[in-house]
């Protein structure tokens, strides 16, 4: 997890009734995905590239669309490996 400076603007910010999320660039060229469910939970996950952070945000939106009946199938590290493999096959 990195420490994103509060004065850095998010690359992407999404606010919904059921959660709020943002992707911030980090000083070392990676990206923090931060989100809250407005209850007591706040998370930050670090991704090596913007496309991976955006993909994880897409999974988060999919979970929220089920009213949180479904959740992440994989932790951030495993997700990064799987999503990276997917991108390797889809971007040539």
Residue 7 domain-assigned?
A: no
* Tally of domains within the chain: 1
Assess if residue 6 is contained within a domain. no
Q: For residue 4, is it within any domain?
A: no
> Which residues partner with 13 through β-bridges?
22
> What is the secondary structure of 22-65 as a DSSP string?
EEEE-TTS-EEEEEE-SSS-EEEEEESSHHHHHHHHHHHHHHHH
The pTM assigned to this predicted structure is: 0.86
Residue 31 lies in a domain: yes
User: Which pLDDT tens digits describe the chain residue by residue (92 residues)?
Assistant: 455 556 789 999 999 999 999 999 999 999 999 999 888 789 999 999 999 999 999 999 999 899 888 888 888 899 999 999 999 989 88
> Number of C-alpha atoms within 13 angstroms, CB side, residue 28?
8
């Amino acid at each position: 997890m990195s420490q994103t400076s509060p004065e850095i603007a998010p690359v992407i910010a999404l606010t919904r009734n059921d959660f709020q999320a943002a992707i911030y660039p980090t000083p070392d060229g990676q990206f923090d995905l931060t989100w809250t469910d407005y209850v007591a939970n706040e998370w930050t996950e670090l991704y090596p590239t913007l496309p991976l952070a955006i993909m994880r945000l897409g999974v988060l939106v999919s979970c929220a669309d089920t009213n949180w009946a479904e959740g992440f199938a994989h932790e951030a590290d495993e997700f990064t490996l799987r999503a990276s493999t997917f991108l390797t096959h889809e971007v040539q």
